[in-house]
Amino acid sequence: MFGYVRPLVPELKVSEYEYYKGVYCGLCRSLGRNTGCASRFALNYDLVFLALVRMAVLGEEYSFDRKRCALHPLKRRPSLGECRALSFCAYATAMFTAMKIEDNKSDSRGISRVGAFLAMPYGKYLGRRSGKIGEISSGVSEYLTELTALEKENCPSIDRPAELFGRALALICSGDTGEESSPEYRICYDVGFHLGKFIYIADAADDYGDDVKSGSYNPIVAVCGGDGISDSVKKNLYEALLLECRDLYASVSLLDYTRCPAVESIIKNIIELGMPAAACRILGVDPTGETDK
């Protein structure tokens, strides 16, 4: 994942920001505990959002402790205690990272390919550590394989690869939430789908310049060419990202936040304020959709 899904911190209450940091810290510890210390390098804000959603869905009793760690040895910081939401996100991170390493091995060239091969033992290790959610790995892998095929074809579409990535993330987000017909599963599936589409399109826009230089696949380059993104295309992409935010908001509004009321404010801050702010930054538009000059 890529780190575009974060709150707009100035609009959070102090207690909400402390809560958010506590979930971040708890997830970092869960990664170390469940999938190995090195997996902590994969931690990012997108994973914290996934953990928050699953906290609301699972409705467990949650507790925080104040702990020190290697990065913050002098001051105790709030940390969410181990729970199903954190452990699942840790295993999902291991699974996704292992698949990414495997994909890099086949796609990379030169020194990057050597690096990908050197990372293979770690990828296999992570694949084994993600075994506790192995029932969703085949479906996720299938979608990512289809996505790789589209990228190799230089698919001239933004929506097709974004939808495949969205479906892969939907399986991850909805895993271990019950039967496919259950409300919890459907809500989490929709959350993952719209979140995945937002992340894929935002990442393509953010990487546009680098991908033009390197010749790597980018759906925006395939559609618009490598001479820059026009103002009209930027506005269309911005509206597409806002649409995913609206659909995502509709999905999270169905969650029950009774056991974790602070989670509701944080999630809605991320969707209403944080994600649109990320879209503005990436595309160079102001909140009205006008292109910055």
Q: Which residues is 79 bridged to in the sheet?
A: 65
- In sign, the C-alpha dihedral spanning 225, 231, 234, 235 is negative
User: How much is the pTM?
Assistant: 0.89
Q: Is the pLDDT of residue 18 over 50?
A: yes
Residue 122's pLDDT is 41
Residue 120's pLDDT is 38
In a domain, 22, yes or no: yes
In a domain, 290, yes or no: no
Where do we find the tokens 């989490």? 188
In a domain, 292, yes or no: no
More confident residue, 293 or 24: 24
Residue 164's pLDDT is 95
* Angle, vertex CA 208, rays to CA 207 and CA 212, nearest 5: 115
Q: What is the mean pLDDT of residues 269-276?
A: 97
Amino acid found at 235: K
Crossing angle, helix 275-283 and helix 183-206, to 10 degrees? 20
Q: What is the mean pLDDT of residues 114-139?
A: 53
279 pLDDT band, cuts 50/70/90, is very high
In a domain, 168, yes or no: yes
Q: What is the mean pLDDT of residues 74-94?
A: 88
Residue 108's pLDDT is 43
Q: What is the mean pLDDT of residues 199-222?
A: 94
CATH code where residue 142 lies: 1.10.600.10
In a domain, 141, yes or no: yes
Q: How far is residue 198's CA from residue 206's CA, in Å, rounded to a whole number? A: 12
In a domain, 219, yes or no: yes
Average pLDDT, the chain: 85
By residue range, what is the domain housing residue 149? 9-283
Task: Indicate the length of the chain as a whole number.
Answer: 293
